[in-house]
Structure 1
Amino acid sequence: NRIHALDGLRVISILMVMVYHYYYRFDGVKYKYPFHSAEILYYGKLGVALFFVISGFVITLTLTHCNNLLEFVKKRFIRLIPAMFICTFVTYLIFTLFDNNSLFPASSDFRNLIVSNTFIKPSFFNRIFGLNLEYIDGAYWSIWIELQFYMIAGVLYFLSPKNLLRSFAIYSAITTTYFLYNKFNVNHLHGSVSYIYGHYDLWFLSGIIVNKLYTNPKSHINLVYLTVVIAVQMFIQSNTIAIFCSAIIALIFIAFVYKQEYLSFLESRFLGRIGIATYSIYLIHQNDEKKM
């Protein structure tokens, strides 16, 4: 019962992120030869935003098939833990054995292997215990964002199953306001926004709205909600190319709801197989493949 177009979109997402990491993120740094990347490649990082929208859609669907919060948590961790354990171990092994020039020293630190498998942001442990831990691979930052969304969405859904959209929209309004205050005000609020995913939740919220539209395409009010959320996200981006990319993401999901034939090329069996594996690919794509 998989929605195959989503697997195709996952492939697009991971390709965008890989292009960003390989050609812009380090821009010749950590490579044996210098080069300079085109500025447009910077926006490959919006592949993560596309992942977040897909997560908002899929998690909403998953919640409707769970009887309680415990069942939902169990399903999430059954999906997340095995791949995380295998991929972090592979990363640790590769860099312990072959990283003689310390390309990514954090990847050969056993403590980082352990902390990465907790799914919790390393700085959380650093602040409490005075440690100096890092993710075994820097790309894991988004896993912490995803985990926060799972927790919040799960709790809100089982408190009021019929009102997930409204509840999460209210929550998003609060966290986005907090984020914007810190972004545009020199007198930052006490504490760090690193533990609250701020504007990222607008992408998850977009996914929830798309799910509602997918099940009821005639709901014009949800289309208005999606337009407003994307408009706010564009305001936050405050960059012409980023705004353009955000608009493209919005148009993709509008086509996903109303003009599915436009996305039929995403439903190929080949893309589907890759799409299923994108979580594992994401976990090893940055440090491991750059080392190779």
Structure 2
Amino acid sequence: MGAVRATPTGGARPKTARLGELDALRGLAALAVVAFHYTTSYAQQVGHLQPLGFGFTPGNYGVHLFFLISGYVIFMTLEHTRDGMDFVVSRFSRLYPAYWFCIAVTAAVVAAIGLPAQQLAPAELALNLTMVQQFLGGEHLDGSYWTLQVELFFYAQMLLWFMLGQLRHIHWIIAAWLVLAVAHGLVSADGQHFSYTVRELLILRHIPFFALGIVFYRLQQQRSGRDLDIAMIGLCLVAIGIANGPVLLLVALVCTTVFALFVAGRLRFLCIGPFAWLGAISYPLYLLHQAIGFALIHRLEQRGVPSLAAVGLAVVVALSLATAVNRWVERPAMEAIRRTWRRQRERLATA
């Protein structure tokens, strides 16, 4: 969920060009999730002392745009990765240092001013350091963390196919994903048992969205087989409609439209300062906003601050914290880890 470094796309972009549109889309999706949590979700879980009179339910589906972006970016990354360890170091440096720091900040704020329901036992808090606490039977310190496990399991799947040399058969892999996703959806709808482990490890409830991102990356490369890629987009949408129902089908159609505009070069207007900043801070913003925001809104409202003003102040705090983490933690840690790995790899190559 951090900023994206791109590779050539159909000759239209220079090598290592920055895909500003994707950064901006990620930032806007993160902001939509914040708006949903501070309005609709907070009203449902806690309750504003002075009802806002509005919410932002569509923001709940910003995460599905994240999944398309990840499908695009991870397939692109692996196509230009020399070996598995390069990919592991790249993903680890992107995800974990900022995540661990944000856990520490969130835990401190929750301990100081958090609601009772936000408090976690030390063992649960330690389990959160893995990023797969839900799979291990634990609770999330921040409710937003559930998508990180989904992303991590997607990375693991893609790394496996890369190591097996099977990414050249990505259409067959996607077809298998869609069959399994539909099978899970039909079995669940019928009230039958489906393996929890298989569902979670293969992220069957979400994998068609990642598949859409992969296919759009292929389309943007202007390779042969474009008709097949377009057909695969249609199959992904059909699978989502069958497995996930009409609401997520509508979400998928919106995400597909957005990505079609991106691939066609119609979103370059997003490559401006405010959107670039929002894209750069999207990952720490996502990590920090919910638990801290809920605690802050609750405290402010208890002290007589109007609910709308409390929400506005929480947004400002979340954006400010995310900017600070991006500048002083996320980017420096990522660069340091990758620099250390490059040096280690060079030493191994000359040994």
Q: TM-score, normalised by structure 2?
A: 0.73
Q: Give SS of 2:43's match.
A: coil
Q: For 2:133 and 2:179, locate their aligned partners in 1 and report how far apart those are by CA, in whole Å.
A: 22
Q: Which residue of 2 aligns with 1:47?
A: 62
Residues 175, 199 of structure 1: 8 Å contact kept: no
- What letter is aligned with 2:38? Y
Select the structure of larger CA radius of gyration.
2
* 1:168-247 equivalence runs, <5 A: 168-191=173-196, 193-216=199-222, 219-239=226-246, 242-247=248-253
Q: Which whole-Å CA distance do the structure 1 matches of 2:240 and 2:159 have between them?
A: 23
Unaligned segments of structure 1, at least 5 residues: 127-132
SS in 2 for 1:2: coil
Structure 2: where are the runs of 5+ without partners? 1-16, 297-351
**Is the counterpart of residue 86 in structure 1 residue 101 in structure 2?**
yes
Distance in 1 between the 2:26 and 2:125 partners? 26
The answer to whether the 8 A contact 2:102-2:287 is kept is yes
Give the AA of the match of 1:83: A
Cα distance in 1, alignment partners of residues 35 and 260 from structure 2: 25
SS at match of 1:122: coil
Task: Return the offset for 1:168.
Answer: 2.9
Match of 1:141 in 2: 146
Which residue does the alignment assign to 1:263? 267
Once residues 26 and 163 of structure 1 are traced to their aligned partners in structure 2, the CA distance between those partners, rounded to angstroms, is 45
Q: Within 2, Cα distance between the matches of 1:37 and 1:123?
A: 36
Displacement of 1:174 after TM fit? 4.2
CA-atom RMSD in angstroms: 2.3
Q: Does 1:155 align with 2:171?
A: no
1:96-141 Cα offsets, whole Å, 9 max, x none, are 1223x525123xx3333321111113352x4xxxxxx311111101
Match of 1:165? 170
Counting aligned pairs with the same residue, the percent is: 23
How much has 1:34 moved relative to structure 2? Answer: 5.1
Deviates more, 1:141-150 or 1:227-236: 227-236
Deviations 1:63-91 (A, max 9, x none): 12211112211110011111011100000
For residue 272 of structure 1, what is the aligned residue in structure 2?
276
Which one is further off, 64-73 or 144-153? Answer: 64-73
The 8 Å contact of residues 181 and 243 in structure 2, kept in 1 or not, is answered as: no
Letter in 1 for 2:287: L
Q: Distance in 2 between matches of 1:11 and 1:103?
A: 29
- Where does residue 20 of structure 1 map in the other structure? 36
2:292 to 275, 288, 292: 288
Name the stretch that deviates more: 30-39 or 45-54: 30-39
